[in-house]
Each structure stands twice: as structure tokens, then as C-alpha cells.
Chains A and B, each alone.
Chain A
Amino acid sequence: MAVMTPTTAPADDAEALLRPHTILGRTINFARRKPLGTIGLLIVLVIIAAGICADWIAPFDPEENDFASMMVPPGLDHWLGTDQFGRDIFSRLVFGARTAMIVGFGAAVGGGIIGMVLGVTSAYFGGWFDLVLQRIFDILMAFPLIILALAVVSVFGTGVFNVVIAITIPLVPRCGRVVRASALAVRQVPYVDAARALGFGHARIVLCHMVPNVLAPFLILLSAFVGQAILAEASLSYLGLGVQEPVAAWGLMLQGSAEDYATTAPWIAIFPGLAIVLTVLGASLFGDALRDAIDPKLRDR
């Protein structure tokens, strides 16, 4: 995995980012230097807002069947048309944003935090603990994400919560690996030994001294994970093993009969797909810009 392993300590570069002093100043600075990243951030914010305010934005109940208006093309009543059950696609997209947020952020944050904790402790303690954990990571990372998620979901069953777990598990080692590499570099820095000599507890050293120093690669990974998780959810749902009817979820909206209707009622398949592409695109653009800003040396790794 040589290519994937960042080799520099990000501490100095992180400070470089923090130079402008006010949050507003920093934001403007970021926007000026990273127009694509700013667009990405805006897209993500819009999706988050849609997810949070879905109840107020959506003109229709996303789960209410209406057999009187099935497969209505986009128009004034139904802005993006209706699906095969007569459900309003726009409303389902808006509520789908909520599901995407739950799955995307849930799995990314869950996988990221567990991965970070394991990565940092693994680097800090080293020895047997490190060795065993790294072998476990090796094993988990030998599976393509979708295949591991597929296996986990067939054990735990489908549904939003289980899908989050199924995507979290493969993300843990992916984060743990990178964080460990950064943390190893921090571990060499004299102040860690100094802190140890001063009699600080392990927990305090790990939390107060090491974690803040690996936050940069962690944040970068997190933004990439959000996109990966949303894509994985879509693939699982497409295979019929993800979120289940009647919950509004983008991947699910593309699954099964949606595909059958795609030629006559293309809006059923086009819009949920666009929503996925746009969200993941936004998250990735933002993530790229964030990475360039925090640590140019990690670029495109």
C-alpha cells in the first residue's frame, strides 16, 4: 500500500492554513483560492439543509402512494414528476437527502472515529497491539468495500441502521491505516516522550497530544468517506440489499422497477442518480480543496 501512505507530518502545514485569524477571513480566503472547493462546499451545505428541513421543504408525503397520479411527468404539481407508486419524486429526493446524510455522515464519522482511535493507539503503543491490529486491518482491507459491505449486510439484514454498520466496518481500517502513519511521525516528536516523562497518562497523551496532530489527514479522509459511503449505499440498494421501501433513499429510488420504467418515465431514474452524483461530487470537490489547503503534499494520494 505504499502509494496510499502519506509520509509527512502535517503539523506545520496545518498551521499554515490557520494563518488568517477570523473564521470569516479564513472562509473568504479559502473561497478565493479554491473556487471549485467552495462550490463543492455549497452543494454539500444545500444537501444538508434539505435533509434537515425536509419536513418543511417537501410538498408531499414521500411515502404516500397515490394511485391516481402514477408516473406523472415533471410539471407544476410535481416538479420532478412522480414514480410508479404515484409518490412525488422531489419530496422523495428531499427526504432521500436526509437518508443520505444519515448513511453518509453516520458511516463516515463512525468509521473515521473508530479508525482514528485505533490508528492513534496502535501507533502510540506499538508492539504486539500494533502488529495484531495491523494484521486485522490488512484482512479487512483485502476486501473491496462493496463486497465486505455486501457480506455484512447479508448477515445483519437490510435497513438504514444496518447499512450504516455495513459501510462503517470497511471504512475503519482505511482510516486507521492513514492515521497510524501520521501518528507514527508524531510519536517520534520529542514532546511525546517529554509528556510521558512528566508522568502524563496514556489517555491524556493520546487525546491531547497525538489526536490533534492527526486531525488534518483525518478530516481529509472524512470528506472522502462521505462520498464513498453514499455511493456504497446506492450500490447496496441497487442490489436490493440496502435501505428498504418505503423509506426515501436515492439508491433505492434507482432499484428494481425504477429501472424498468427508465425508458418511458426517465425522470424516475435520472433525478435520484443526479442527486447522488451531485452530492458526492460536492463532497469530493470540497475534500480536495481542503486537502490542498491543509497539506499540499498529500495531494491526490
Chain B
Amino acid sequence: MHRYIVTRLLLAIPTLAGAAALVFVLMRLVPGDVCVIRLGSGGAHVDQAALALCRAQLGLDQSMLVQFLLFLKNYATFDFGISMWSGNPVWQEIMARLPVSLEVAVLATVIAILLAIPLGTISALKENSGLDHVVRVLAIAGIATPSFWLGIMSLILVLNITSLTSGTPWLPPIDYVPLWQDPVRNLSLVILPAITVGYRYSAVTMRLTRSAMLEVMREDYIRTARAKGLLEQIVVNRHALKNALLPVVTLIGIEFAFLIGGLVVTEQVFNLNGIGRLLVQAVQNQDNVLAQALVMLVVLVFVVTNLVVDVLYAWLDPRIRYS
């Protein structure tokens, strides 16, 4: 077991290093640089002396190799650098945006679980019934709907409905207040984005719950339990669901890492000052340092989640360790 964990950990290192190299190269292949954007964004004049100064200060005049080695060295010592755009430490920029994104992500996960597990289970128990078909179409529609479009539509709906019913259109707040400061304002801001992201998330989970349940219900021990004359409810809750949930929980873990990708687009729709929007800004501003750090954060979350999932699986199922 220990050996397996160590191997998995060692394998994660080249993945992270490779991802870092890839991100580094990709960001630098983009034509133009942060200085031109910063000094020319007004549409008027780019002062040549100021441009040269800016580049020198950010180290953009050094060779790619030197920049890359510096980047590796800094990351190895957990120094994620200074944003080229704002001059603030990258961790500071990220920490300022993390609460919103995290809150939406957690809320979306809760919504997803609350929707997916009951619906997926019912759908499996009533396989091929009308209800099953409805749930399945609902689930596939969730995967097929771009979450930003769902966001736009929900905003239009909220605005128009409130406008029709009360005469004054209502919109969720456009600035974030922490939950403990003003729970009502906070929730009215995050609930819509959480639903739009959570719907897709729940759709994926619902499908897996259904199929996992179907598989488990065919297992021998379920037949045995039924043969013993146990109540169907007990069979489902105690035996089937419990066993079917393992892959579901895994998927929830993996999807959580990918949620950040989904937030990139959704945060635009709702003017959420989260890390998804920060990433888009960083890419637009060609703030390579910040963009790299954000992408590496996403990659890290993903790699760690996978690692944990793999180790958990190995722990539960000894066959994997030796294959």
C-alpha cells in the first residue's frame, strides 16, 4: 500500500512539471505583451520610454530560458510571483477572489447532490418507466446546455418576471458580500450562478447514480437480501445505495476540480469577482505570471483529487494495487 502511494505521488511530479512547462510556453507564444496592453489600452498613445521601462521592470527583456528557469525556481520554493498587471503578489490576488468561487462551487455541489442522488436512484429503480425517461432526458439536457446560456436565460427570466409582477425589475446584487456579513444579500447573489453550474454538475452525477444503482441491484447480495424478505426500502437504502455511492462520490470529487473550468464562463454572466473571471482577465491582459499561477492551481486541484481518489480505490480494492 505504501509503495503504491509513493509511486502515485512520484508520478504526479512529472505531470505537474510538464503542465507548468506547457502553460509557460503557451502563455509566451501569444503575440504582444502585458506592457503594450497596459500602456496602450487607452487607445491613444504608447510612450516608448515607458514601454521599455515596463518591460525591463517585469523581466520581459530576458530570454525565454532564463525566464523559465526563474519560474521553476520560484515555484519550487512556493513563490508564485507578482502579478505583472497589478504588481500585487499572486496569492493575494487569488485569495481576494477565492471566497466567491468557492462559495458558488460548494453550493453548486450541494444542489447537484440533492438533485442527483434521489432522482438517479428513483430512475434506476423504475428502469424504463416514463419517469426514468424524463429523468434521463433531463440529465442529458443538463449536459447539453451551455451553463452561460442558462445563466443569461435565468437573468432574463428573473428581470422580466419581477418587472411584470411588481412593476420594478429586480436583479441579484452585482457585488459580493461575505455570507456572515449579510446572508440574504450573499445568497441572493450566489444562488443563480450556483443553480446554473449545479444543473450540469447534477446531470453528470445523476447519470452515474442511475447506472451504478442499476449495476448494484443486479448483484447477488441484493438478490440474497431480497430473498431474505427484507423490505425493499431497506434493501435500497442499506445495501444498494451504500455500495452504488462509491463511484458517485468519486465523480463528485473529480467534477469539483473541473467546476473551476465551468466558473470561467459563468462568472462573466453574473459579474462575479471570482477566480474564473480573474483567469480570463489575466489571459486578456497577458499577465503571464497570474495566468500561470491560476492554471497551475486548477491543475494541482485536479491532480490531488485524482491522487486521493486512486489511493482510496486502491485501499478499497486490493486488485488495483498490483495491476
CB atoms of A and B under 8 A apart anywhere in the complex? yes
Which of A239, A262, A269, A277 touches B145 (beta carbons < 8 Å)?
A277
Report A-chain residues with C-beta under 8 Å of the C-beta of B257: 144
**Contact present for A146 and B152 (CB under 8 Å):** no
Which of A36, A155, A254, A263 touches B29 (beta carbons < 8 Å)?
A155
Report A-chain residues with C-beta under 8 Å of the C-beta of B18: 135-136, 138-139
Report B-chain residues with C-beta under 8 Å of the C-beta of A273: 145-146, 149, 152-153
**Contact present for A284 and B144 (CB under 8 Å):** yes
**Contact present for B309 and A142 (CB under 8 Å):** no
User: Chain A's nearest CB lies how many Å from the CB of B30?
Assistant: 5
Say whether B265 faces chain A, with CB atoms less than 8 Å apart.
yes
Interface size class of B (residues with CB under 8 A): 35 or more
Complex Cα spacing A81 to B193, Å: 29
Say whether B122 faces chain A, with CB atoms less than 8 Å apart.
no
With known contacts A136-B18, A139-B19, A277–B137 Cβ distance under 8 A: no
**Contact present for B156 and A3 (CB under 8 Å):** no
User: Chain B's nearest CB lies how many Å from the CB of A47?
Assistant: 13
Say whether A152 faces chain B, with CB atoms less than 8 Å apart.
yes
Say whether B243 faces chain A, with CB atoms less than 8 Å apart.
no
**Contact present for B283 and A263 (CB under 8 Å):** no
**Contact present for A142 and B302 (CB under 8 Å):** yes
Say whether B14 faces chain A, with CB atoms less than 8 Å apart.
yes
Report A-chain residues with C-beta under 8 Å of the C-beta of B126: none
Report A-chain residues with C-beta under 8 Å of the C-beta of B207: 300
Minimum CB distance partner of A152 in chain B: B26
**Contact present for A36 and B133 (CB under 8 Å):** yes
Say whether B39 faces chain A, with CB atoms less than 8 Å apart.
no
Complex Cα spacing A294 to B313, Å: 27
Minimum CB distance partner of A40 in chain B: B140
Within 12-66 of A, Cβ neighbours of B (below 8 Å) are at 36
Complex Cα spacing A300 to B140, Å: 11
Complex Cα spacing A138 to B16, Å: 9
Complex Cα spacing A152 to B283, Å: 11
With known contacts A2-B320, A300-B207, A288–B140 Cβ distance under 8 A: yes
Which of A143, A234, A276, A277 touches B299 (beta carbons < 8 Å)?
A143
Say whether B254 faces chain A, with CB atoms less than 8 Å apart.
yes
Minimum CB distance partner of A39 in chain B: B137
**Contact present for A143 and B19 (CB under 8 Å):** yes
**Contact present for B19 and A254 (CB under 8 Å):** no
User: Chain B's nearest CB lies how many Å from the CB of A2?
Assistant: 5
Say whether A145 faces chain B, with CB atoms less than 8 Å apart.
yes
Say whether A99 faces chain B, with CB atoms less than 8 Å apart.
no
Say whether A196 faces chain B, with CB atoms less than 8 Å apart.
no
Which of B141, B156, B260, B298 touches A269 (beta carbons < 8 Å)?
B156
**Contact present for B30 and A142 (CB under 8 Å):** no
User: Chain A's nearest CB lies how many Å from the CB of B217?
Assistant: 13
**Contact present for A276 and B146 (CB under 8 Å):** yes
Say whether B98 faces chain A, with CB atoms less than 8 Å apart.
no
Minimum CB distance partner of A281 in chain B: B144
Minimum CB distance partner of B200 in chain A: A231
Say whether B5 faces chain A, with CB atoms less than 8 Å apart.
no
**Contact present for A142 and B19 (CB under 8 Å):** yes
Complex Cα spacing A297 to B274, Å: 40
**Contact present for B149 and A154 (CB under 8 Å):** no
Report A-chain residues with C-beta under 8 Å of the C-beta of B26: 151-152, 154-155
Report A-chain residues with C-beta under 8 Å of the C-beta of B136: 36, 288
Complex Cα spacing A254 to B153, Å: 11
**Contact present for A238 and B148 (CB under 8 Å):** yes
Say whether A299 faces chain B, with CB atoms less than 8 Å apart.
yes
Say whether B306 faces chain A, with CB atoms less than 8 Å apart.
yes
User: Chain A's nearest CB lies how many Å from the CB of B46?
Assistant: 21
Report B-chain residues with C-beta under 8 Å of the C-beta of A150: 264, 283
**Contact present for B298 and A3 (CB under 8 Å):** no
In this complex, which of A143, A144, A276, A284 has the most chain B Cβ atoms within 10 angstroms of its Cβ? A144
Which of B250, B254, B295, B302 touches A151 (beta carbons < 8 Å)?
B295
Complex Cα spacing A276 to B22, Å: 31
**Contact present for B211 and A142 (CB under 8 Å):** no
**Contact present for B265 and A263 (CB under 8 Å):** no
**Contact present for A269 and B153 (CB under 8 Å):** yes
Say whether A198 faces chain B, with CB atoms less than 8 Å apart.
no
Say whether A207 faces chain B, with CB atoms less than 8 Å apart.
no
Within 272-287 of A, Cβ neighbours of B (below 8 Å) are at 273, 276-281, 284-285
Report B-chain residues with C-beta under 8 Å of the C-beta of A300: 207-208, 210-212
Say whether B51 faces chain A, with CB atoms less than 8 Å apart.
no
Q: B290-323 vs A: 1/0 string, CB under 8 Å?
A: 0000010011001100100110010000001000
**Contact present for B149 and A254 (CB under 8 Å):** yes
**Contact present for B143 and A284 (CB under 8 Å):** yes
Within 118-161 of B, Cβ neighbours of A (below 8 Å) are at 133, 136-137, 140-141, 143-146, 148-149, 152-153, 155-156, 159-160
In this complex, which of B29, B152, B250, B262 has the most chain A Cβ atoms within 10 angstroms of its Cβ? B152
Complex Cα spacing A287 to B295, Å: 31
User: Chain B's nearest CB lies how many Å from the CB of A127?
Assistant: 17
* 22 cross-chain CB contacts under 8 A: A2-B313, A3-B251, A36-B137, A135-B11, A140-B22, A144-B262, A145-B261, A146-B265, A147-B261, A151-B27, A152-B26, A235-B146, A238-B148, A239-B268, A262-B152, A266-B156, A270-B153, A273-B149, A277-B141, A277-B144, A278-B144, A279-B144
> Which 4 residue pairs spanning A and B have beta carbons closest together?
A144-B261, A300-B211, A280-B144, A139-B18
- Residues on B lying within 8 angstroms of A by beta carbon are 11, 14-16, 18-19, 22-23, 26-27, 29-30, 133, 136-137, 140-141, 143-146, 148-149, 152-153, 155-156, 159-160, 207-208, 210-212, 214-215, 247, 250-251, 254, 257-258, 260-262, 264-265, 268, 279-280, 283, 295, 298-299, 302-303, 306, 309-310, 313, 320
